[in-house]
Amino acid sequence: MKQSQTLIPTLREVPADAEVKSHQLLLRAGFIRQNASGMYSFLPLGKKILQNIESVVREEMDAAGAVEMLMPALQSAELWEESGRWGTYGPELMRMKDRHNREFALGATHEEMVTSLIRDEIKSYKRLPLTVYQIQSKFRDEKRPRFGLLRGREFLMKDAYSFHSNQESLDAMYDRLFQAYITIFRRCGLNFRAVLADSGAMGGKDNHEFMVLSEIGEDTIAYSDSSNYAANLEMAAVVTTYDQKEHSGQELTRVETPHQKIDVNPEETLKSMLFMADEQPVLVLVRGDHEVNDVKVKNAVSAQIAELATAEETSKWLNVQADSIGPVKVSDEVRVIADHAVKAMGDIVCGANEEGVHWTNAKLDRDFSVMQFEDLRFIQEGDLSPDGKGTILFAKGIEVGHVFKLGTRYSEAMNSTFLDENGRAQPMIMGSYGIGVSRTLAAIAEQYNDDNGLVWPVNLAPYDLHVIAVNMKDETQSQIAGELYKLLTDYRYQILFDDRMERAGVKFADSDLIGLPVRITVGKKASEGIVEVKIRKTGETHDVQKEELTDKLQ
C-alpha cells in the first residue's frame, strides 16, 4: 500500500480528551477517529489490525467446533419481551421505533435472537450440541463511554452461543472455549488472567472473565501468588473472622446497609458480596442509605430474578425478600445480586439488618445465623487465598472476554425445547461466550507501545514492513524504494510504502508512531545499493545490501 494513496492522518499533539495511552496513540497514529462519544471509525490501519484480530478469533473458534454466522443488529422488542429483558435490561439498551410505531432495540447482546432462531430450527437431541458465533457491532448506551475503544457505545464483539441436550455436553464445550480463549489472548500477545467472575464459594466453574492486566483496568482482580486462584474482586469478598450466633424463628424482613462498617463505595448503592462462612456461600445484600432515583428495586430485583430463575425459584426468593427492598437504581449490581440470589436458591436464603447478616439453609427451615457486621470485610491484599494456597494480591484488569454457562435461563423463558431420546420435550442447555474484539485491539495497544508510538506484535501488525523513501525527489531513492516495494510484495510481505513528498523527519516520526515491526529505509546509501533495516521494538539498525534483503528478512 502506497502511503500517498491511503488515509493515515497522524497527529503530532496528544489529543486533549484522550486520557489513556491506547486512546492517544490510536488517534495520533491515525488508526481511529471519534465520530461521537463512544463511537469510532476504524481508518485503514485500524481496520487492518481489527481484521487480524478477527482472524485469530475465527481460527480458534472454528478449531473449537463453533460455526460462524451473522444475525441482525436490529432486534424486535417482542424477542426481549419473551425473555423478560425488555423491562429489565435498563438504559444501556438502545431502543427505537419504526415508522409503524413498533419497538426495536439495537443488539447489546444476542441471547434472545439466537435462542429464538435455534428454537425454530432444532427439534431433536440428535442435532445437538451446536455452537454458533458471529463477529458484529454491538450497541450499549454506556453511562460513561471512555478510554476510546475500551468502553464504546458501538463496539465490535465476537459472541458465541452453545446449545446442548445435557449438562456434560455444555461443560465440555465450555472447557473447549475456555481453552480457545486462552489461545486467542496468547496469540494476541496479551498479559492476562482468567478469573472467576463468580464466587469460588459457589463452585465458580461456570462464569469466567478474561482480564488483561493493566493499570487502567476498571476491574480489580484478587489473585493468589502461588496458585491459579483469581477472581473479580466484586466476587471475591470473603470473611476471615466471624461470630456466629444461632437465632430461631427470626424473620428476614429488611435489607439494610451496613456500609458504614463494610467499606462499600457510596457511589454504588447496591452491591452483592458473597462471603464464605463454614464453607457455606452466603449472599449479602447491601443497600446504600441514600436515594438514587425513583426506580423501585423491588421491581428491578423481581424482574431480574424472573429473568434468571425459574418461576418456582423466583417465588421462593421473593416470598422471603418481598419486604426487604427499597428505592435504588437498576444497575449491573442488581443483576449481579439477582444472579447470586438465584444460584443460592434452594440452599441458602439470606439478608441483612442492623444486627448483621442472616442466613438460613432453606432445607433447614427457620434456623438462622447472624454474622456481626464488624466481622465482615472484603478480601484484602495479604489475606490467605480462599483455596488455601498462597497470599492474595490485587491487580487492575481490562475485561476482554467472558464465558458463561446460561443453563436453561433463556430456553425456558422462550420455550426453546428439543425432544430427548424418550421423545420428551426438554429445554436446551445453553452457554454464551463473548470477546470484545475492538476492546482487545485497544488492550494490545495499551501493552505494546513506547515513548515514540505503537509497537505492534509481529503477527498482528497491520503491515509487516514499512518501506521509506527518505527523499522521493531523489530519483535513485524513489526508484530503488519502488523496486523493493514491488519485489517484497512479490515475496508476499504486507508492505506500507511511504512514497509521500514529506521531510525525512516527518516520515521517521510517523513510522515510529504507526509501529510496524520492521522499517526499511532507502536513503543516501541507496546509490551504493545499501538500505537500512530497523527493528521497531529494539531500535537496532543494520545496513544491508538490497540484494541480501530478502535473506535478511527471513
Which runs of consecutive H residues, i.e. helices, occur in 358-474? Answer: 409-413, 437-447
- Window 344-383: contact mask with Mg ion (x via CB under 5 A): ----------------------------------------
CB of 121 to ligand ATP, least distance (A): 25
Residue found under cell 486467542: 184
346 Ramachandran zone, left/alpha/beta (phi>0; psi -120 to 50): left
CA–CA distance, 302 with 341 (Å, rounded to integer)? 11
The one among 198, 206, 333, 399 contacting ligand ATP by CB under 6 A: 399
Bridge partner residues of 273 (DSSP) = 284
The one among 31, 42, 155, 493 contacting ligand ATP by CB under 6 A: 155
Q: Does 110 bind ligand ATP (CB under 6 A)?
A: no
Tell me the number of residues near Mg ion by CB under 5 A.
Answer: 2
Q: Does 340 bind Mg ion (CB under 5 A)?
A: no
Within residues 382-401, the interface with Mg ion by CB under 5 A covers 399
Q: Does 164 bind Mg ion (CB under 5 A)?
A: no
The one among 152, 427, 462, 515 contacting ligand ATP by CB under 6 A: 152
Which range binds ligand ATP by CB under 6 A, 147-155, 281-289, 314-322, 534-542?
147-155
Q: Does 397 bind ligand ATP (CB under 6 A)?
A: no
Q: What are the two backbone dihedrals, phi and then psi, of residue 30, each rounded to the nearest 5 degrees?
A: 75, 30
DSSP state, residue 42: E
Q: Which does 512 bind (CB under 5 to 8 A by kind): Mg ion, ligand ATP, none?
A: none
Query: Closest Cα to residue 345, out of 321, 368, 313?
Result: 313
CB of 460 to ligand ATP, least distance (A): 17
Query: Closest Cα to residue 288, out of 333, 320, 235, 241?
Result: 333
Which range binds ligand ATP by CB under 6 A, 46-54, 168-176, 399-407, 470-478?
399-407
CA–CA distance, 194 with 179 (Å, rounded to integer)? 10
C-alpha cell of residue 307? 429473568
Within residues 424-443, the interface with ligand ATP by CB under 6 A covers 434, 436, 438-439
Asked if residues 518 and 535 have their Cβ atoms less than 8 Å apart, the reply is: yes
CB of 402 to Mg ion, least distance (A): 4
CA–CA distance, 242 with 498 (Å, rounded to integer)? 67
The one among 287, 358, 402, 409 contacting ligand ATP by CB under 6 A: 402
Name the residue whose CB lies closest to ligand ATP. Answer: 436
CA–CA distance, 369 with 225 (Å, rounded to integer)? 33
Which range binds ligand ATP by CB under 6 A, 151-159, 220-228, 366-374, 459-467?
151-159
Q: CB nearer to Mg ion: give 195 or 526.
A: 195
Query: Closest Cα to residue 399, out of 263, 546, 199, 233?
Result: 233
CB of 404 to Mg ion, least distance (A): 8
* Element housing 134 (H / E): strand 130-139
CB of 164 to Mg ion, least distance (A): 21
Q: Which does 52 bind (CB under 5 to 8 A by kind): Mg ion, ligand ATP, none?
A: none
Q: Give the per-residue SS3 of 380-393.
A: CCCCECCCCCCEEE
Q: CB nearer to ligand ATP: give 358 or 402.
A: 402
C-alpha cell of residue 495? 508492505
Length of the chain: 554
Query: Closest Cα to residue 278, out of 383, 379, 369, 385?
Result: 369
Q: Which does 439 bind (CB under 5 to 8 A by kind): ligand ATP, Mg ion, none?
A: ligand ATP
Q: CB nearer to Mg ion: give 348 or 430.
A: 430
Name the residue whose CB lies closest to Mg ion. Answer: 402
Q: Does 142 bind ligand ATP (CB under 6 A)?
A: yes
CA–CA distance, 285 with 259 (Å, rounded to integer)? 11
The one among 402, 439, 507, 546 contacting Mg ion by CB under 5 A: 402
Neighbour-count burial for 137-172, b at 16+ CB within 10 Å, e otherwise? ebbbeeeebbbbbbbbbbbbbbbbbbbbbeeebbbe
Within residues 92-151, the interface with Mg ion by CB under 5 A covers none
- Distance between start and end Cα atoms, the chain: 21
Which range binds ligand ATP by CB under 6 A, 163-171, 292-300, 313-321, 397-405?
397-405
Q: CB nearer to ligand ATP: give 26 or 467.
A: 26
Query: Closest Cα to residue 268, out of 234, 317, 222?
Result: 234
Q: Does 466 bind Mg ion (CB under 5 A)?
A: no
* Element housing 487 (H / E): helix 475-490
Q: CB nearer to ligand ATP: give 252 or 395.
A: 395
Q: Does 151 bind ligand ATP (CB under 6 A)?
A: yes
On the CB side of 538, CA atoms within 13 Å amount to 6
Sign (positive/negative) of CA torsion 332, 337, 342, 343? positive
Q: Does 59 bind ligand ATP (CB under 6 A)?
A: no
Which positions touch ligand ATP (CB under 6 A)?
A: 109, 140, 142, 151-152, 155, 157, 399-402, 434, 436, 438-439
Task: List residues near Mg ion by CB under 5 A.
Answer: 399, 402
